[in-house]
Chains A and B, each alone.
Chain A
């Protein structure tokens, strides 16, 4: 496992900060409703790579406002449970399900990825978009990812990749809204974490362009709007650093699927 260097905020702080940040109005304004690189197009690609079928039970970990969960239910006919650490986020996602009359196919719960509040082997598929990198105890989270799918089930992750030792110190602090970057890892680390938990990697696709595009969009929004509680100068400095990191290949985005072996 790669050793991180330099000061980083306490892990629990990063996780709860991320959950809180994602539910904030500032995050909504900056991200424009797209909470992960690649947007819904990459979510569809993930579902296709997982060969998701109608009627399958899906757990969406760190479901946020439910974008992924609603898409998988609506377009793939899946029965989706979403779990998120933010109470306000869960309430908002539930309200969306009620407003759209989709409560039967999409449900949202308050819980922690490292201690999932679900029975063993209760799902066909587990997905987690742009959140695994924020979990302080990734090995424990990976074991939970291996526990809740049935034997023969699948796990699909899209996430930020990073060569942590090359990361600029300014990207690490909690002052940047890109706190999620602080504990992102290289692709091989993610694969190793899943393998150690007993999951066999099947698909590994790089989608670094999706991250570059998202950084461009964020920067455009930062320049166009004055957003409450955001120091635009600092934020622009951070987006520039992030863009450099992507260009150098030190930061990127990956789509990864893995299988839970059947007995």
Chain B
């Protein structure tokens, strides 16, 4: 995930307008406010800051459920 650090200073959660933090592991920008916590995917280095495409806290990521992880392949 290649994100300019200054980006997080101006961006906010489109749902609740709280600050976002980058999660390098899941390649998402995650809303820092409880209980919002929406996670926005970063695709081709572009954060998809659309509520409709965000992952709710506790929900599985689309990539994992689609079988990207080795254990899912049988």
Name A's B-contacting residues (CB within 8 A). 81, 85, 87, 90-91, 94, 107, 109-112, 115-120, 122, 147
Contact = CB atoms under 8 A, between A and B. Distances in A.
Contact of A117 (B4, B43, B44, B49): B49
Interface of B: 4, 7, 10-15, 17, 19, 43-44, 46-51
B10 A110 contact: no
Contacts, number: 50
B53 to A, nearest CB: 9
B48 A87 contact: yes
Contacts of B49: 109-112, 117
A18 to B, nearest CB: 15
A62 B12 CA distance: 17
B17 A110 contact: no
Nearest to A90: B46
B10 A118 contact: yes
Given A109-B11, A120-B17, A122-B10, A115 B51 contact: yes
Contacts of A111: 14, 49-50
A110 B12 contact: no
13 contacts: A81-B10, A91-B46, A107-B4, A109-B46, A109-B47, A110-B46, A112-B49, A115-B14, A116-B14, A117-B14, A119-B19, A122-B10, A147-B17
A243 B49 CA distance: 38
A187 B51 CA distance: 31
Q: Most chain-A Cβ atoms within 10 A of its Cβ — which of B4, B44, B47, B49? A: B49
Nearest to A112: B50
Contacts of A115: 14-15, 50-51
A94 B14 contact: no
B12 A87 contact: no
A118 B11 contact: yes
